[in-house]
Structure 1
Amino acid sequence: MNFNFLSPVSDSVLAHNELLSAQVLGRKLHIHSKQNGIPDLDGVSIAILGVLENRNDVNYIGEEFELNEIRKSFYALFPGSWNTIIADLGDINKGESVEDTYFALKETISVLVKKNIIPVILGGTQDLTYANYRAYDTLMPMVNLVNVDCKFDLGDSQKPIKNNSFVGKIILEEPYNLFNYATIGYQTYFNSQEEIDLMNKLYFEAYRLGQVSKDITIVEPVLRDANIVSVDLSSVKGAEVSLKQKYSPNGIDGKEICAIARYAGISNKVSSFGIYEYNPSKDDELTSMLVAQMIWYFVEGVNCRVKDDDFSNEDYYQKFITLVDEQELIFYKSLKTGRWWIEIPFLSEVNNKLKRHTLLPCMHQDYIDACNSNVPERWYKAFQKNCL
């Protein structure tokens, strides 16, 4: 495996690590260092990967940044009762061009996912999600992407890619691998009506900040169905982060963003998780500690994964059938975890993206709604997308 793209974790972080308690995470990680090189990845489940690229920021003025403070904060946390081995592979430095950085990230993610290692990407700008998505071109036919963000980031796909327009490129550039795109925590006043209309027209999902804050559990099914989760730190409310990180007085709070990270970890499908738009400042401890805790909760979630979506054995699930507007809706409930799914029917006359009956994660509330003759919105959007 060619990991030439990676530079080791800095000596200052490693020196800081040596002063910590023997029980902390930093003393248990497999760390890429100058002295020992890249660690052996046998048995590793999660790999932390920094990417020092921010040139496609719409406000880029040449500033550099590093991820040392995040690492110091994460290394100092104590692990849960975990059985996963975590590696810190260091950083991908800026390439000659942004495309070179994309290539390095794409190749690295592709190799890690093939080895069943989940990369946790710590990034500069969120357009790196495009490279993350492209890593799946050779891995799977259709990809579900969840973006935790106050904006949709659709942008104008005719223009060069930027950190506020990368999703347009993902949707419109071949190969077309995107099945579902969902945004968690969007704030209406940061998005044009045209973008909101386009999200509806494409049957993509969007959860407003108010919905998420009222009931965080509504985002669990969409995260359960995601392959890639990308978090923009500007979705976090200004009071929760340090000086240069502040973006908006309204946003997701610290507990909610950690709950989202844990849901992403628990999902059996999520195979890459990225945290982007990190802007260090002199009073950086708050943001770096929040990011460290997000990673901690993601790892905690991965350790709690339960294989509950195999419906071949009737002993492990219950099946419920309801009728809404002459449409038969079939629900499944896992007896292991209590999680729910709904079946999306296969339309043989349509050249659709699903080759069989597909199960869509949902909530118990969706079943209750269906019993009251209301079609669940997630089911409706997935069904319509199949007909496109």
Structure 2
Amino acid sequence: MNFNFLSPVSDTVLAHNELLSQQALGKKIKVHSKQHGLPDLDNVKIALVGVLENRNDINYIGEDIYLDDIRKSFYSLFPGNWSPSIADLGDINKGETVEDTYFALKTTITILVQKNIIPIILGGSQDLTYACYRAYDTIAPMVNIVNVDSKFDLGDSAKPIKNDSFVGKIILDQPYNLFNYATLGYQTYFNAQEEIDLMDKLYFESYRLGQVSNDITIAEPVMRDANIVTVDIGSVKASELSSHTSASPNGFDGKEICAISRYAGISNKVSLFGIYEFKPSENNEVTSMLIAQMIWYFVEGVSFRVKDDDFLNDNNYQKFITLADHQELVFYKSKKTQRWWIEIPFLEEVNNKLKRHTLLPCTHQDYLDACNNIVPERWYKAFQKNCL
């Protein structure tokens, strides 16, 4: 197994771990250490991987990243009523070039995902999401990404990749594996109107901060359909964090970002979770603890995953058919989990990417809206994309 790129967790963190309670998470995690090397990954479900790369940050001025404070905070937490099967594989250091770091990250993720281990990537700059996406080239034919961010990060794809333009590269670089891209928590004044219009033209999903804050459950069906979830910690409002981490007085609060992390964990499809744009400073405690709690909630979500029974057996679901705007909409509700789906019809005459009836996660509210002659926006965008 080629994990040569990974350097062990620092002795400082391990020394801190020795002082913790026997019940703390740090005592239950398999840790990559200098003394014992890489841990055995048998039965491991989740792997923490730090990536100390921030050179493609548009504000990069030569500073280094260190993740020790996040690890100390996470190790000091107690597990919930779940037994964690977590490994901390240490860090990927900066390569000779940023492309070298991308290659190391891509290789590491490919190995982990193929072993059915969910990587949690703790990163420097968010352009690392591009390398995460490329890891799926050999894993999945189509990829859905959810970005929790105040900005779309589309940027100018003709220019070299940066942490504010990596999405443009994901959309335009071959091979074209991106099916859906959704942004949770964007703030209009941080995004050019052209970018907002482009998101609509591409039938990608975007949810404003106010929308998600008013009803956090909006995030659940979006996460249920995601393979990769990437979080820019700058989407959290500045007052919730230590200095230097967020420049916005508006954003998610700690409770909301933890709820979003839990929704990502509960999703059966999410196979990679990344938290980026951590900027170390002298006073890291609050940000480190918030990121640690986000990881905790993600792990809890994974522990409580419930596989919805397949929809081939009529006994497993209820089916509802309604007419909205002259369009027949078919909804399914799982009897086991009470979760809702809506069917995207297969168009015979179109050479589409789906080739079958596809079930799109939705909410009970979407069904109620359809009963009131309102076509759900998620369905409309997925249907249009299906026609492309």
Shorter chain as denominator, the TM-score bin is over 0.9
One-letter code aligned to 1:334: S
2:121 corresponds to which residue?
Answer: 121
1:111 maps onto 2:127 in alignment: no
Looking at structure 2, the residues matched to 131 and 306 of structure 1 have their Cα atoms a distance apart, in angstroms, of 29
1:329 maps onto 2:322 in alignment: no
TM-score of the pair, normalised by structure 1: 0.99
CA spacing shift, 1:79–1:225, aligned 2, 3 Å: same
Looking at structure 1, the residues matched to 230 and 152 of structure 2 have their Cα atoms a distance apart, in angstroms, of 12
Looking at structure 1, the residues matched to 14 and 243 of structure 2 have their Cα atoms a distance apart, in angstroms, of 26
Looking at structure 1, the residues matched to 376 and 345 of structure 2 have their Cα atoms a distance apart, in angstroms, of 14
2:383 corresponds to which residue?
Answer: 383
1:275 maps onto 2:268 in alignment: no
1:108-128 CA-to-partner distances (Å, cap 9, x unmatched) read 001100000000000000000
Looking at structure 1, the residues matched to 261 and 351 of structure 2 have their Cα atoms a distance apart, in angstroms, of 35
2:295 corresponds to which residue?
Answer: 295
1:194-215 CA-to-partner distances (Å, cap 9, x unmatched) read 1000001001000000101111
Contact 2:171/2:178 (8 A) holds in 1? yes
CA spacing shift, 1:309–1:140, aligned 2, 3 Å: farther
1:126-165 CA-to-partner distances (Å, cap 9, x unmatched) read 0000000000000011000000000000001000000000
What secondary structure, in the 3-state scheme, does the structure 1 residue paired with 2:39 have?
A: coil
- Following TM superposition, by how much is the alpha carbon of 1:244 offset from its aligned partner in structure 2, in angstroms? 1.4
1:132 corresponds to which residue?
Answer: 132
Looking at structure 1, the residues matched to 374 and 248 of structure 2 have their Cα atoms a distance apart, in angstroms, of 36
What secondary structure, in the 3-state scheme, does the structure 2 residue paired with 1:264 have?
A: helix
Looking at structure 1, the residues matched to 189 and 244 of structure 2 have their Cα atoms a distance apart, in angstroms, of 22
One-letter code aligned to 1:272: L
1:67 corresponds to which residue?
Answer: 67
Looking at structure 2, the residues matched to 247 and 265 of structure 1 have their Cα atoms a distance apart, in angstroms, of 27
Instruction: Describe how 1:141-160 pairs up with structure 2 within 5 A.
Output: 141-160=141-160
1:39 maps onto 2:33 in alignment: no
Looking at structure 2, the residues matched to 16 and 271 of structure 1 have their Cα atoms a distance apart, in angstroms, of 30
1:3 corresponds to which residue?
Answer: 3
- Following TM superposition, by how much is the alpha carbon of 1:387 offset from its aligned partner in structure 2, in angstroms? 1.1
1:201 maps onto 2:167 in alignment: no
Looking at structure 2, the residues matched to 84 and 29 of structure 1 have their Cα atoms a distance apart, in angstroms, of 7
Instruction: Describe how 1:224-373 pairs up with structure 2 within 5 A.
Output: 224-308=224-308, 310-373=310-373
Specify every segment of 5 or more residues in structure 2 that has no aligned partner in the other structure, as ranges.
none
Contact 2:233/2:246 (8 A) holds in 1? no
What secondary structure, in the 3-state scheme, does the structure 2 residue paired with 1:53 have?
A: coil
- Following TM superposition, by how much is the alpha carbon of 1:46 offset from its aligned partner in structure 2, in angstroms? 0.2
2:174 corresponds to which residue?
Answer: 174
Looking at structure 1, the residues matched to 207 and 371 of structure 2 have their Cα atoms a distance apart, in angstroms, of 24
Looking at structure 2, the residues matched to 363 and 262 of structure 1 have their Cα atoms a distance apart, in angstroms, of 17
What secondary structure, in the 3-state scheme, does the structure 2 residue paired with 1:20 have?
A: coil
Looking at structure 1, the residues matched to 146 and 310 of structure 2 have their Cα atoms a distance apart, in angstroms, of 23
Looking at structure 1, the residues matched to 310 and 236 of structure 2 have their Cα atoms a distance apart, in angstroms, of 35
- Following TM superposition, by how much is the alpha carbon of 1:324 offset from its aligned partner in structure 2, in angstroms? 1.9
One-letter code aligned to 1:245: T
1:346-371 CA-to-partner distances (Å, cap 9, x unmatched) read 11111111011000000000111111
2:99 corresponds to which residue?
Answer: 99
Looking at structure 1, the residues matched to 270 and 82 of structure 2 have their Cα atoms a distance apart, in angstroms, of 18
Contact 2:13/2:72 (8 A) holds in 1? yes
TM-score of the pair, normalised by structure 2: 0.99
2:82 corresponds to which residue?
Answer: 82
What secondary structure, in the 3-state scheme, does the structure 2 residue paired with 1:275 have?
A: strand
How many corresponding residue pairs? 388
- Following TM superposition, by how much is the alpha carbon of 1:236 offset from its aligned partner in structure 2, in angstroms? 0.3
One-letter code aligned to 1:384: Q
- Following TM superposition, by how much is the alpha carbon of 1:309 offset from its aligned partner in structure 2, in angstroms? 5.2
Looking at structure 2, the residues matched to 13 and 83 of structure 1 have their Cα atoms a distance apart, in angstroms, of 22
Specify every segment of 5 or more residues in structure 1 that has no aligned partner in the other structure, as ranges.
none
Please provide the CA RMSD for this pair.
0.7
What secondary structure, in the 3-state scheme, does the structure 1 residue paired with 2:381 have?
A: helix
Looking at structure 2, the residues matched to 316 and 93 of structure 1 have their Cα atoms a distance apart, in angstroms, of 48
What secondary structure, in the 3-state scheme, does the structure 1 residue paired with 2:197 have?
A: helix
Looking at structure 1, the residues matched to 310 and 131 of structure 2 have their Cα atoms a distance apart, in angstroms, of 31
Looking at structure 2, the residues matched to 329 and 84 of structure 1 have their Cα atoms a distance apart, in angstroms, of 41
1:39-78 CA-to-partner distances (Å, cap 9, x unmatched) read 0000000000000000000011111110000000000000
One-letter code aligned to 1:372: N
- Following TM superposition, by how much is the alpha carbon of 1:84 offset from its aligned partner in structure 2, in angstroms? 3.8
Looking at structure 2, the residues matched to 82 and 106 of structure 1 have their Cα atoms a distance apart, in angstroms, of 30
Looking at structure 1, the residues matched to 17 and 365 of structure 2 have their Cα atoms a distance apart, in angstroms, of 46
Looking at structure 2, the residues matched to 355 and 48 of structure 1 have their Cα atoms a distance apart, in angstroms, of 36
What secondary structure, in the 3-state scheme, does the structure 2 residue paired with 1:136 have?
A: helix
What secondary structure, in the 3-state scheme, does the structure 2 residue paired with 1:384 have?
A: helix
- Following TM superposition, by how much is the alpha carbon of 1:312 offset from its aligned partner in structure 2, in angstroms? 1.8
Looking at structure 1, the residues matched to 167 and 212 of structure 2 have their Cα atoms a distance apart, in angstroms, of 22
Contact 2:29/2:84 (8 A) holds in 1? no
Looking at structure 1, the residues matched to 324 and 189 of structure 2 have their Cα atoms a distance apart, in angstroms, of 35
**Percent identity over paired residues:** 78
What secondary structure, in the 3-state scheme, does the structure 1 residue paired with 2:244 have?
A: helix
- Following TM superposition, by how much is the alpha carbon of 1:238 offset from its aligned partner in structure 2, in angstroms? 0.3
